[in-house]
Structure 1
């Protein structure tokens, strides 16, 4: 197989690597641009607050006040006032979509979610409901159920490592495309590319498992703790589909990179054609007569007397 065959052999895993990188990019940049209808549909979690109306906001505050003991303190009063004021001032939006680099918010019209604002993308982002919902009043955090507080702290810590895993997966996929060029010329290049591909796949596995478990847990906690206050949470199918697709394509590319390191050497075997007029072994069987392609000839003459003249053989019919 020649160089063209070698290029064709590594072309398939190269395409799978590009596909994995593109899918990962979409999973990462979801919910970062309010003007993009496509990116607005890519999010890991959605918090729907459309049922928290002005009247509900007052009940929201009253319910949270009842979570404390009979004694009323300044923090609970501030909480009730903050919720009511946030709703009346339209600071509490109908929904919030959480992505890898930030969040988007907007208004719900019937069954349609219209995004009109997205936060500035930042690294190691985590969604803090107290800040985003404008409830960051002193002491308000303590009014949330204990398991919600605990899970928010866990979410804040784990989200950092999830972000790192996604970034490392992206970086190794880019390196894989660069190293993959060397695979055109030799199997050694394919071996190095396979190693990089395996590392990228490992980071993608870690990122996908972490994000899936993290947001599934967070949605469950939000629904169990805040649903009675009009807050409903759900997972975003598109972001997870893009992220897991990136992993699937990376797994396939790793397999084909490994295959290209075992096969498709790219070397062209030189073919030897018989040379006309080449000599072949002469068989002196049958009484010493030499045989050459079915023809016989008399054996070479022997000289008993070097002084005797030699007469060439006569042709005999």
Structure 2
């Protein structure tokens, strides 16, 4: 149960990335980050000093210059699951943070963000870049669904897991839910890692020569895959609980049987007046061995 809750917390932290503009933690968690300051601040110098072996693409150069000169290009872009945030850099500090509204099936479209969508300038970008963005768009929908299913199943695992305390059948059901949760957790993590890794590769291949840099958050990936590890571990222990360590042990009644020969105290006086007289006589020391009082007992065969 503890591992399941830990997995749920990790998933909640991942989903909070870029979702809360005033949260420092939220700002540090992102799948993708683009830094355009190297090009935006001095585009002419960047073009004149392209890395050795890079042939200037006049159409791409013009497209980037248009986006920068029109004021449609911010310094920093950070992408989360629900939205993206943008900011300006001044003296090395990020300022004027603005985050877009959260929406389902979100994906980061640089052409739309830079106001180049459906224009002749968009066609100036290389096919590799456009194909990479289109692939990212298609797969991002599945990635969002995987995260939502993983979230629902993790919550269900916590709730159903309560039944495992009382019954091994509850453990079995919880194990089934946990297995499904782990599958979707791994799928979501693997998809987002591969997807944004591909997007970063596309940006670096096409735009890094123009000093537009792309990266991702190591913190985001660490929390995400730690959550996967917690999920796998919880599923393993739920499975073990099906066989043992689950449910309440029945209270066993200890039955104490009498031995074949027991002694029971008899009623007083025993055998009427004669017994009483005998007892008094013995107390006087005439026939007793020690001269001490004693209680008569009868032997009973059970």
* TM bin (shorter chain): 0.7 to 0.9
* Structure 1 match to 2:296: none
What is the number of residues matched between the two proteins? 256
TM-score for the superposition, normalised by structure 1: 0.74
* Structure 2 match to 1:224: 205
Equivalences for 1:227-266 in 2 at 5 Å?
227-264=208-245, 265-266=247-248
In 2 relative to 1, CA 86–145 (structure 1 residues): closer, same or farther, beyond 3 Å? closer
CA contact (8 A) 2:89 2:95 kept: yes
For residue 107 of structure 1, the aligned residue among 76, 88, 91 is 88
Distance in 2 between the 1:94 and 1:27 partners?
A: 24
- Give per-residue Cα distances to partners, 1:48-75, cap 9 Å, x unaligned: 1011235406976xx9xx647xxxxxxx
SS at match of 1:27: helix
- Identify the range of structure 1 (217-226 vs 136-145) with the bigger mean alpha-carbon deviation: 136-145
Distance in 1 between the 2:176 and 2:196 partners?
A: 30
* Structure 2 match to 1:270: 252
**Aligned alpha-carbon RMSD (Å):** 2.6
Q: Which structure would you say has the larger RCO, counting Cα contacts within 8 Å and 6 or more residues apart?
A: 1
SS at match of 1:30: coil
In 2 relative to 1, CA 262–20 (structure 1 residues): closer, same or farther, beyond 3 Å? same
Deviation of 1:142 after TM superposition, in Å, equals: 1.7
- What are the ranges of 5 or more consecutive residues in structure 2 without an aligned counterpart? 51-55, 263-302
CA contact (8 A) 1:57 1:83 kept: no
Q: Is 2:122 aligned against 1:118?
A: no
Distance in 1 between the 2:19 and 2:167 partners?
A: 41
Distance in 2 between the 1:245 and 1:110 partners?
A: 35
Distance in 2 between the 1:21 and 1:110 partners?
A: 38
Distance in 2 between the 1:99 and 1:115 partners?
A: 18
- What are the ranges of 5 or more consecutive residues in structure 1 without an aligned counterpart? 1-13, 69-75, 281-291, 294-317
Deviation of 1:141 after TM superposition, in Å, equals: 2.4
Q: Is 2:152 aligned against 1:171?
A: yes
* Structure 2 match to 1:285: none
Distance in 2 between the 1:114 and 1:15 partners?
A: 39
SS at match of 1:124: coil
Distance in 2 between the 1:95 and 1:45 partners?
A: 11
For residue 201 of structure 1, the aligned residue among 157, 163, 182 is 182
